[in-house]
Amino acid sequence: MIMKKITAKQRGKIQQEIFTWYKTNQRSLPWRTTTDPYAILVSEIMLQQTQVDRVIPYYERFMRTFPNWEALANADKRTLLQHWSGLGYNQRALRLQETAKQIVVEGGRIPKTEEELCKLPGIGPYTACAVLAFAENQEVPVVDTNIRRVLIHKLKLSEAIGKKELATIAQSLIPRGKSRIWHNALMDYGALHATAQKTGIASLSKQSKFEGSERWVRGKMVKMLLNQESLSLRELKKTMKHARLKQIIQKMEKEQLIVKKEGWITLKEER
């Protein structure tokens, strides 16, 4: 497949249009008031598969309690999960804490390359690039579902375009020295203006039904364990009635999120 070439004229036109729109339509989001890599990473992990409006209060409360790497690294599991419960994917919080512990060991220094960031727990290529763009202003492509839609719409690309090719095109559009503001502008343009409904461009993955899902069961179990010391396995089976409950419990044990002993389940405490 021949990669689409973006001319200087096209690049300038798109940049001007996006920045002009952004000047009067940008969203006010708490993680945009800082370039602290810690705060940026917390927001990015929270925003994974979770709506922006839902994340804001969780982010603000989390940052008040755990304002830096050290505070998060030293947090007890129960307090950490209390601040995360409701966002879903509680394992994200535990991986984030593992990353904090590693960063503290390194003297608070976070890696400055995608390759090194991806070696940290729970950080993949997208999150790594987001941290580099928003914290360090590095000219790396950050392509979420909104930016993907904007690029396909504006450049008349095929919806079947591969991630690698799209990332190359995205990188070619980044204005020199303006990666942070450019990516914020693209995200807002996609979220508020060039929406899926307006453009007809579908997301790569459809959101699966939440209630009754494994994610829902896991979230319910953690929430119950945050309100009481232990859960009876017998009562849990009566309450949940999920076909894969046994497998879910086994997976949570393997992740060291819970402990099962003599018919009871408790949170695995580390302190």
Q: For residues 86-103, b (16+ Cβ closer than 10 Å) or e, as one string?
A: ebbbbbbbbbbbebbbbb
Angle 75-77-81 from CA coordinates, rounded to 5°: 105
Question: From CA 176, how far away is CA 179, in angstroms rounded?
Answer: 7
Active site residue 229: no
Which residues, listed in sequence order, are joined to residue 258 by a DSSP beta bridge? 267
Question: What sign has the CA pseudo-torsion 43, 48, 52, 54?
Answer: negative
Q: Which residue, 225, 213, 226, is CA-closest to 265?
A: 225
* Residue of 44, 116, 165, 235 marked active site: 44
Which is nearest to 163 in space by CA: 140, 186, 144? 144
Q: What are the tokens at 245?
A: 């409950």
What gap in Å lies between CA 202 and CA 229, rounded to an integer?
44
Query: Given the DSSP bridges, would you call strands 230-232 and 258-261 parallel, antiparallel or unpaired?
Result: unpaired
Q: How far apart are CA 132 and CA 193, in angstroms?
A: 26
109: its two tokens: 């220094």
Cβ partners under 8 Å of residue 233, min gap 6: 249, 260, 263, 264, 265
Q: Would you say the C-alpha torsion 7, 10, 16, 18 has a positive or negative sign?
A: negative
Where in the sequence numbering do the catalytic residues fall?
A: 44
